[in-house]
Amino acid sequence: MADGYIGYGVKMGEGWLLVANMLELIHTGANNIICAEPFGCLPNHIVGRGAIRKILDKNPEANIVVIDYDPSQSQINQENRIKLMLSNAKLNAYL
């Protein structure tokens, strides 16, 4: 599923698997995705966030948010990002 989104030779973080998992969710009808990244994993930031723009361009119905779960991120920030994603999901449900 990641073909055309990211190269299979990408070995950083989750590599192409993270992108393929998000695309599988979208293709099965789960358009609202929370990508939870533990401990501010820099390789996943590069691979996952880098591919999200391409995923959204090709799948405009997708609603993806990346949440960092590490000590440097406040819980309020995490919760607010999830609430914003949920409000976008509600808005898209009415369109």
What is the model's pTM? Answer: 0.80
Distance CA 33, CA 67 (A): 10
At 18-75, the pLDDT tens digits run 888 999 999 999 999 998 877 666 777 777 777 888 999 999 999 999 888 777 778 8
Q: How far apart are CA 8 and CA 71, in angstroms?
A: 32
37: exposed, middle or buried (Cβ count in 10 Å: 0-12, 13-18, 19+): buried
Mapped onto helix, strand or coil, the DSSP state of residue 18 is helix
Q: Comparing 94 with 1, which gets the higher pLDDT?
A: 1
pLDDT band at 87 (very low <50, low <70, confident <90, very high): very high
How many Å from the N-terminal Cα to the C-terminal Cα in the chain? 27
* pLDDT per residue as tens digits for the range 6-26: 887 877 767 778 888 999 999
For the chain, give the longest Cα–Cα distance.
40
The confidence score (pLDDT) of residue 40 equals: 61
Write down the domain spans for the chain.
16-94
